[in-house]
Chains A and B, each alone.
Chain A
Amino acid sequence: MNAAQIVMPALGPALPELILAVGVLVLILYGSFKGERSVEGVNVGALLLIVLALFVVVSQTGAKITTLNGSFISDGFSRVMKALVLIGSGATILLSRDYFQRERIDRFEFPILILLCTIGMMVMVSANDLIALYLGLELTSLASYVIAAFHRDNLKSTEAGLKYFVLGALSSGMLLYGSSLVYGFTGTVSFPGIVSALHQSAGFGIVLGIVFVAAGVAFKMSAVPFHMWTPDVYEGSPTPVTAFFASAPKMAAVAMTVRVFIGAFPDVTAIWQQIIVFISIASMTLGSFAAIGQTSIKRLMAYSSIGNIGYALIGLAAASEEGIRGVVIYMIIYLAMTLGAFAILLALRRGSEMFETVDDLSGLSRTHPVMAFCLAAMMFSLAGIPPLAGFFAKFYVFAAAIKADLVALAVIGVVTSVVGAYYYLRIVKVMYFDEPKAPYEAMAPGLRIVLGLSSVVVILFWLLPAPLVGAAGIAAKSLF
């Protein structure tokens, strides 16, 4: 084999990943040469890289393109989900600045780890074979374990990191075991190859493989019954890191799940549909009942995220184009609601003291009327009350489920969202009808930006739903 035979793979579709990867290497060098003084520069640089990558992702067009020996796919779905991942990561960097400075853990490695994590998530979203999927997942997970323990002198943070690491390693093992079974029974790791191998026959081994793969991805999405780590990790991690875990990696994990089940197993829907339906019902139920007794807002958001994953999976269970469109819309709106809620949680501080319980919100409407109004909008939206965005998110997935003859699933979804409304509305009640406490400090500029943007999406979605719904429609179409 001589040099002329080696064909350079087309790198254009992977340009956003390449920008981030090259940029992060430059930032690492800059950070390690400049030391402590580089924090500001690295943060700004990371934010610029994310904006640049987001710009490239949005400007990419065209139908399905695969490159890098068929293991990387760029289509409408990957572009929308990558944009969501990038928005989540960028918002995390904005949210983290003030918090880390005050906690005196302001180190330049944080934005770098966020960037590396983002690359991993984008690889997951664009994976077109099992190896790329696994490598992306590991890149994301390893960076996540480190940032969960980023506040290393804090016992809870290190505990969160260790817990996440041990359980995450277990789930990666399950995913790998499932992947190896799928590979063994189809003879290929590439998704199109698996599809054509399953046209001929689907043996019992495939069922076993799909079950293990489902367990692995369910862990990453924190869906019941693989959710046990979520409340502890969310509570222990530094709050901006919790905001990150609840936003960007969720987008990537859901995208990965859709990609695996719709991309690799479209003809054996009967096998995995029952798994997804079960996971979805269990997540919705646990998410709404277990959150009722929580006093810590971070734990409450953890259970809320478990429940929300359940709702998003209703769309996947429908296994139709409309269902996937519902999933994408749900994730867009969920991202806005989560980031907004965490921006407010991060604003609850006086001096170096952070406040994290529901009681600390009491009387917020009188001390901080704007903040209370935004949080009330987020909570009404999470409860699914029209005309806020959360209502439409649920509407699209329920409609898809009913069209796919999953009426029981939709009914359970409606019932659990009524139960869930209780604890969302409790927060509104505490803010508006309880005795006020001492006012908190003014919000940092990064928090204001994130809160403003997410409030606009949540409150005004009903005025102009077309762009987001249209983007989700294109994304769903590219998968079928």
Chain B
Amino acid sequence: MSAAAAFFYLFSGLAVASGFMVIASRNPVASVLFLILAFVNAAGLFVLMGAEFLAMILVVVYVGAVAVLFLFVVMMLDVDFAELRQGFQRYLPVGGLIGVIFLIELVLVVGSWAIDPGLVQAPLGNAARGEAATNTQALGRVLYTDYVYFFQLAGLILLVAMIGAIVLTLRDRPGVKRQNISVQNARTQGMAIETIKVPSRQGVEV
């Protein structure tokens, strides 16, 4: 067994095992951690296939952003998973039926599947272009030329998301005391201390 095959079985075995643990684990925080482990193993599989860009994106986006966000939500919302599972027996028939329908659909669809042999030979089309380039270079070349339209549209969609978040949540609260560093720095001794001559036996009004 070659080293690549050994790593393949290592990564895929771990991915399947941690995938199982995601749904089997009693502690939701552990579930999310197993999910992260599954993602990392999937990234390892991508590296084995020579798709290093996808591997890095998977780690950065799914592990770095999505899973950590999950973790925050699970930790902050006190979700009682035991309670969520209570209706499991009751909903099993309906859920099972839907699952079977989807399985039949999938079998029907995959049954009539035909993959172009050319696609298997040349992932990402590097060979077709007759160039040796890394994934990242190849993606960059089409992203900013052939697919510049989609790239710009995706940018506009993200802009809408940003504006939307601000519109719906930013509130202007009057009367909040905020630190103003320039004012603090500009304070002089004269502004902070007042010297008062106290007449004897009379005191001063504060």
Contact = CB atoms under 8 A, between A and B. Distances in A.
Name the residue in B131, B145, B164 with the highest tally of chain A Cβ atoms < 10 Å from its Cβ. B164
Nearest to A152: B168
A208 B149 CA distance: 29
B168 A135 contact: no
Q: Ordered nearest first, which 6 A-B pairs have the shortest CB separation?
A: A146-B164, A68-B149, A135-B153, A109-B167, A142-B160, A69-B146
Interface string B80-114: 00000000000000000000000001001100110
Given A139-B156, A146-B168, A9 B163 contact: no
B205 interface: no
A116 B149 CA distance: 15
B7 to A, nearest CB: 29
B109 A205 contact: yes
Contacts of A136: 153
Interface size, A (range): 35 or more
Contacts of B146: 69
A69 B144 CA distance: 12
A149 B165 CA distance: 11
B115 to A, nearest CB: 9
A150 B112 contact: no
A68 B148 contact: yes
Contact of A116 (B112, B145, B154, B156): B156
Interface string A8-40: 010000000000010000001000000000000
A9 B144 CA distance: 11
Nearest to A142: B160
Contacts of A28: 159, 163
A9 B148 contact: yes
Contacts of A445: none
Contacts of B145: 6
Contacts of B113: 184, 205
Contact of B112 (A1, A69, A205): A205
B170 to A, nearest CB: 10
Dominant SS among interface residues on chain A:
helix
Residue among A113, A150, A205, A208 with the most chain B CB within 10 A? A205
Given A69-B146, A113-B163, A187-B116, A204 B109 contact: yes
A143 B167 contact: no
Contact of A123 (B131, B153, B164): B153
B66 interface: no
Contacts of A367: none
A145 B164 contact: yes
B112 to A, nearest CB: 5
A162 to B, nearest CB: 10
B150 A116 contact: no
A394 to B, nearest CB: 36
A131 B156 contact: no
Contacts of B166: 109
A166 to B, nearest CB: 15
Interface in B123-170: 131, 141, 145-150, 152-154, 156-157, 159-161, 163-164, 166-168
A182 to B, nearest CB: 12
Given A116-B159, A146-B163, 7 more contacts: A6-B145, A9-B149, A28-B163, A113-B167, A131-B150, A135-B154, A185-B112
A139 B160 contact: yes
A241 to B, nearest CB: 13
A106 interface: no
Contacts of A1: 131, 141
